[in-house]
Amino acid sequence: MIDIRLVRDDPAAVRAALGRRGVDGAEIDRLVGLDDAARAEIGRRDDLRAQVNALSRQVGEARRDGETQRAEALAAESRAVGESEGQAAEAADAASEALRQALLYLPNLPSPDAPDGGGPEDNVVARSWPAELPAYTDAQRVPHWEVGTELGILDMERGAKLSGSMFPLYRGMGARLLRALTSFALDHHADAFEEIRPPTMVRTETMVSTGHLPKFVDEAYHLERDDLWAIPTAEVPLTSMLRGDILAEADLPLRFTAATPCFRREAGAAGRDTRGLLRVHEFDKVELFAYATADQAPALLEEMVGRAERLLTELGLAYRVLDLCAGDLGLSAARTFDLEVYAPGVDQWLEVSSVSWCTDYQARRANIRYRPDGGGSPVFVHTLNGSALAWARIWAALIETGRQDDGSVELPPVLHPYLGGPTRIDAR
């Protein structure tokens, strides 16, 4: 969440910044009102609490002095004020919670470097590789769900039989390809990122810390019996891994990577790009995550984008990097770069990575701070996260790009060591 002190000190600046994200200025005015109300209720509670404490001291003094009648009168007054203090405390808690809920729904302030714009159509293509798309053959222009069915490596029908639509089932070399991609990525990140295997079911507060709850509850899978949530990304447990901790500045940045399944309802996706692997409810992904200081964060953002790009280059997939405009940023992000690969069979650019700098927005929700080397009060860390990479659409693009005239699929040389022998998927 954003720092409420920013709203108190300069509401006009916050209104202008969030206006770039399409947030109505009335929301900021409402937040100011909630903050004023909470501070007033807290002040009233504290005044009454101070009166109770003063009366309690006077009762003790009167009893020590043998003034029994006065002590009883003071005690009765203390009880009456105490009842009012209890009511004031409830009102203060309610006002504070109303303020907190408003902050939980409010998005992060966009970076001044994020382009202006209202939606995806205003995102800026920062660069492409190669500079121009290659000429694709007719064999490469076949969609991956048809190729996967022909080769017996993708079975959407049986996946739907098991779990419903948009749950893919991979078979044979299709499953092996997924495993190879995961090992390939984890090995590439092992030089600087500690590998973590977190739980894939997490508590509500873990989802709240990243910003996935409460706003995006309809997009998440919830196990009501145990009050656990299936993670939509490894960013969720990695963000909360150090929840409530105070770190040492000397230990920053901390870098982590994790390979996990990810679960998303895609509630708003009905009838939109739902064929094959274009939009699925469950997919595997390798995540990069870092805790950093504000000064370290820009270089880390560049590094994480670079790592995702290098994987795509080595896989031989055409891609482009989008600098997301303020109006298209995710709730927690201040700056985001999306990576999209070109899939010739569906003739589409497919998002396969989103690398974001969340400033201290998530750390405030999770209460993760560091103690500065030079002394002073603890400071909230900055968090960064990014996919390197998400495999469902990479799988699709590889199958389409690698398809040969005879119907077989050539796989990238960098994956050969991870495939256990085969370097291609032969036609049946």
Give the integer Cα–Cα distance in Å for 207 and 239: 9
pLDDT score for 274: 81
Which element (helix H / strand E) includes 64?
helix 25-64
Letter for the amino acid at 177?
Answer: L
The tokens describing 342, both together, are: 């070109």
Q: What is the mean pLDDT of residues 280-303?
A: 98
**Span 342-390, pLDDT tens digits:** 999 999 999 999 999 999 999 999 999 999 999 999 999 999 999 999 9
Give the integer Cα–Cα distance in Å for 366 and 225: 24
Residues with Cβ within 8 Å of residue 249, at least 6 apart in sequence: 293, 370, 371, 372, 373
Does residue 422 carry a pLDDT above 90? Answer: no
- Range in 124-128, 161-165, 207-211, 274-278 the model is least confident about: 274-278
| Phi, psi at 347, each rounded to 5° | 55, 50
The tokens describing 327, both together, are: 């109006």
Helix (H/G/I), strand (E/B), else coil: 297: helix
- Write the DSSP symbol of residue 200: S
Tell me, rounded to whole angstroms, the distance of Cα 348 from its chain centroid. Answer: 25
Give the integer Cα–Cα distance in Å for 400 and 403: 5
The confidence band for 79, taking pLDDT boundaries of 50, 70 and 90, is very high
Question: 379, 141 in Cβ contact below 8 A?
Answer: no
Write down all domains in the chain, each with its CATH number in brackets: 4-105 (1.10.287.40), 120-425 (3.30.930.10)
| Phi, psi at 424, each rounded to 5° | -150, 165
Does residue 59 carry a pLDDT above 70? Answer: yes
**Helix-strand-coil percent breakdown of the chain, rounded to 5?**
45, 20, 35
Least Cα distance to 261 among 200, 322, 302, 207 occurs for 200
> Mean pLDDT for the chain?
96
Does residue 271 carry a pLDDT above 80? Answer: no
Does the predicted model carry a pTM greater than 0.75? yes
**Span 381-419, pLDDT tens digits:** 999 999 999 999 999 999 999 999 999 999 999 999 999
Residues with Cβ within 8 Å of residue 101, at least 6 apart in sequence: 214
Least Cα distance to 244 among 403, 121, 41, 380 occurs for 380
